[in-house]
Amino acid sequence: MKTTPFLTLLAALLAVSNPLHAQDLGEPLGDGGVVEDISIAGEDQVSEEGGAEDDGPLRGTVTDESDWEDLGIAIPAFATDRDRPTPANADGTQALGQEIARVITANLRNNGLFKPTGPDSLPSPTFPQITAPAYSNWNGRGAEMLVHGYVRARGDDRLVVGCYLYDVALQDELIREGWVVRPADWRRAAHKCSDLIYARLTGEDPFFDSRIAYIAETGPKDNRVKRLAVMDSDGANHRFLTLGSATALTPRYSPDYSKILYLSYVDGNPRIYVYDIGSGQQTLVTENTSPTIAPRWSPDGQHILYSMAVAGNTDIYRVPVSGGRSTRLTDTPGIDIGGSYSPDGSRIVFESDRSGTQQCYVMDADGTNQRRITFFGGRCATPEWSPRGDQIAFTRIAGDFNVAVMTPSGSNLRVLTDGWQDEAPTWAPNGRIIQFFRTTRNAGRSSLWQVDLTGRNERRLPTPVDASDPAWGPIRP
C-alpha cells in the first residue's frame, strides 16, 4: 500500500517529462505496410497471359466539361477458397470478402460516375466462378460491368486479394490485378481494386488508395480545440495525431507520406513543424523567432515553402527539407503567402495583397517573373495547382467564399460550389476531384466536402467530429 502514492507520483512525473506529450503529440502512427503486386490467374490465362487485352481506356477520356455516365456495375462479395480466420475480420476471410466488395461499392458510388450495386443485394459467386463468371446470372440485372474478386489467407498470415473486371455483354475480362497485403492493410486492397476499375473505365489516373490529412475541430466557436488528424480517402482508418492542448492548423502530407507539415501553437506562437509519421517526432521547419505559416511541399519532396512574418510583413521562403539556409522568394511590402508548385516544379502560384486585395500570382520557382493572374473583380486566395498541371483551384471571394478553378494563366474561371464559406481547395491525386471545407454561418461548424470538376457531383465526407483544412496526399506507393 505504501508504494501506491509513490507510483502515482512517478507516473505523474513521467507523464510530465514525456517530450511527445509536452509537444502535444499523440502515439505515433508508425510506418505503413507495403502493398505487393502479384500475378493472378485469369479465365484463360495460358492463351491470354501477356496478351494485348489491356489496350487503353474503354470509354475514352472524360473531359472537364462532360458529365459522368451512369454505368451499371455489379460488385458481389469477393469469394474465398477456404473460410479461414484472419486478423482483418473477426468472422474470417469469407466475411472479409463481403467487406471488400462493400468498400469498392461505396468508393465507386460516392463519386458520381457509376451506378454500382453492392454485395448486400447480389448473389455471391463461388471461388471457381471468380475466373469463370456465370454470365447468365448477371444478364438482366442492369449491370454492364461485373467486378469479381477473391481473398485468400496465406500461410504467413498475409492476404492475397484478386480483382477482376468483366464486361457482361461482351462476356470478356477487361482487366485483372492482385495484391498481397498485411491483414491490417486489407482496405488498401479494396482501394487498389477500386482504382483499377476506375482507371480502366474512365481512362483517368487512380485516386482511391490515398490519404487525407486535416484538422479535427471540437468545442465552442470562441475556443475551438483543433487537432491534427489523418484518414484514408474514404474516411476509414481515422487517427488523431495531436492531443489538442495546442491549436493545430493547415497540414500538408509529404509526397511520400513519411512526413506532415503543419502549424502548431505548441510554444504559444504559430510555427511550422515537420512531423515524422514513423517516429511521431517533430522539428521546427526553421530555427527562427519569427512566426512561420502556410507550409507547402515541392513535388519532389526535397523542398519546403513556408511564409514568415518579420516585423509584421509576410513573405514566402524556400528551405531544403534536409535543413540549411532559407531562400526568400518574395520581397514586397504586402502579404505574400502560401504557394503551390506546378507538377513539374518549375513554377509557383501564390497569394499576395500587394495590389491592395488578395490576388493570385505566378512566379518561377526561383522567385523571378512574378505576375498577377487574377483580374475577375473578386479576391483570389489559397491557390492550389492541379497534379495534372492544367488547372489552378482557389478560394474565390466575391461576397461569399466559393471554390473555383481556372487555367494557370487565369482564364476560363469556373465556380464549382455555392456555400456561404467554402475554403481551401485540395486536389485528388488524379486532378479530377477537389476537396475543401465548408463553414456554416453563425454556428461556425466546419465540415469536409468534395466536388468534381463539373461542379455537379458534390458530397460531404463523413468525419468523427467537425473538420477543416483538408490536404489530399498522392496515390500511395
Partner 1 sequence: MTFSFLKSAPKAATIAVLTSAIALGACSKKAPEELPPPPVNTPAPTATPTPTAPTGPAVGTQGHFQNAVGRSSVIYFDTDRFNIDSSDAAALQAQAQYFARFPQLTFTIEGHADERGTREYNLALGERRANSAKNYLVSLGVAPERIRTVSFGKERPVALASNPGAWAQNRRAASIIVN
Phi-psi label, residue 382: left if phi above 0, alpha if psi -120 to 50, beta otherwise: left
By CB under 8 A, is residue 20 in contact with partner 1?
A: no
CB-based burial of residue 171 (10 Å sphere; 0-12 exposed, 13-18 middle, 19+ buried)?
Answer: middle
By CB under 8 A, is residue 439 in contact with partner 1?
A: yes
Near partner 1 by CB under 8 A: residue from 107, 298, 307, 359:
307
Task: Identify which of residues 52 and 311 has a Cβ nearer to partner 1 in the complex.
Answer: 311
Task: Identify which of residues 219 and 345 has a Cβ nearer to partner 1 in the complex.
Answer: 219
Query: What is the size of the binding site for partner 1 (CB under 8 A)?
Result: 48
By CB under 8 A, is residue 444 in contact with partner 1?
A: yes
Q: Which residue shows C-alpha cell 505487393?
A: 36
Mark residues 365-404: x for contact with partner 1 by CB under 8 A, - for none. ----------------xx------------x-x---x---
Task: Identify which of residues 424 and 467 has a Cβ nearer to partner 1 in the complex.
Answer: 424
Nearest distance in Å: CB 336, partner 1? 9
By CB under 8 A, is residue 288 in contact with partner 1?
A: no
Nearest distance in Å: CB 172, partner 1? 50
By CB under 8 A, is residue 358 in contact with partner 1?
A: yes
Using the contact rule CB under 8 A, the part of the chain among 104-112, 199-207, 308-316, 384-392 near partner 1 is 308-316
Task: Identify which of residues 208 and 394 has a Cβ nearer to partner 1 in the complex.
Answer: 394
Using the contact rule CB under 8 A, the part of the chain among 184-192, 276-284, 297-305, 353-361 near partner 1 is 353-361
Near partner 1 by CB under 8 A: residue from 98, 247, 286, 298:
247
Task: Identify which of residues 130 and 335 has a Cβ nearer to partner 1 in the complex.
Answer: 335
Task: Identify which of residues 145 and 397 has a Cβ nearer to partner 1 in the complex.
Answer: 397
By CB under 8 A, is residue 269 in contact with partner 1?
A: yes
By CB under 8 A, is residue 19 in contact with partner 1?
A: no
By CB under 8 A, is residue 457 in contact with partner 1?
A: no
Sheet with 259-264: strands ordered across? 248-253, 259-264, 271-276, 282-284
Number of neighbours of residue 63 by Cβ within 10 angstroms: 8
CB-based burial of residue 455 (10 Å sphere; 0-12 exposed, 13-18 middle, 19+ buried)?
Answer: middle
By CB under 8 A, is residue 313 in contact with partner 1?
A: yes
Closest CA to 74 of 27, 30, 127, 123: 123
Using the contact rule CB under 8 A, the part of the chain among 180-188, 276-284, 317-325, 331-339 near partner 1 is 331-339
Near partner 1 by CB under 8 A: residue from 59, 154, 239, 441:
441
Closest CA to 371 of 354, 357, 356: 354
By CB under 8 A, is residue 332 in contact with partner 1?
A: no
Task: Identify which of residues 96 and 349 has a Cβ nearer to partner 1 in the complex.
Answer: 349
Using the contact rule CB under 8 A, the part of the chain among 45-53, 137-145, 170-178, 421-429 near partner 1 is 421-429
Task: Identify which of residues 293 and 465 has a Cβ nearer to partner 1 in the complex.
Answer: 293
Q: Which residues bind partner 1 (CB under 8 A)?
A: 219-226, 245-247, 249-250, 263, 265, 268-270, 291, 293-294, 307, 309, 311-314, 335, 337-338, 351, 353, 357-358, 381-382, 395, 397, 401, 421, 423-424, 439, 441-442, 444, 468-469
